[in-house]
């Protein structure tokens, strides 16, 4: 189960998603803070397959959690070296131009 939110602004489509259980949590590592706010990540709930179907239309993708990040890697959108791990939680941002 993942939380999925799509925001469209003009031609841009932001896709924000996080694994179930991470919503509302805050993770810190050094000076980096990952605040998984419901106002940004909260939206529909679905499975990883529903998330991957939305990848092709998004221009900006923000993912948090093992399942969401693995879906992007498995889909060929990113590689493991591009993942930032904050206090044990994977985080990935993708911008398509």
Contact 47, 53 (CB under 8 A): no
Tell me the pLDDT tens digit for each residue of 41-70.
Answer: 999 999 999 999 999 999 999 999 999 999
Helices 48-55 and 66-74 meet at what angle, rounded to 10?
Answer: 50
**pLDDT exceeding 70 applies to what percent of the chain?**
100
Domain boundaries, the chain: 2-95
Whether pLDDT at 97 is above 90 = no
* Integer Cα distance of 61 and 84 in angstroms: 14
Whether pLDDT at 78 is above 90 = yes
Return the CATH fold of 2-95.
3.30.1860
Tell me the pLDDT tens digit for each residue of 63-75.
Answer: 999 999 999 999 9
């Amino acid at each position: 189960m993942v939380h999925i939110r799509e925001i469209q602004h003009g031609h841009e489509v932001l896709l924000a998603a996080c694994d179930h259980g991470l919503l509302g949590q805050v993770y810190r590592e050094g000076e980096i803070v990952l605040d998984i706010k419901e106002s940004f990540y909260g939206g529909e709930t679905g499975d990883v397959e529903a998330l991957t179907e939305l990848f092709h239309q998004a221009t900006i993708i923000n993912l948090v959690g093992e399942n969401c990040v693995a879906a992007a890697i498995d889909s060929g959108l990113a590689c493991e070296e591009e993942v930032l791990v904050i206090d044990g939680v994977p985080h990935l941002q993708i911008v398509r131009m």
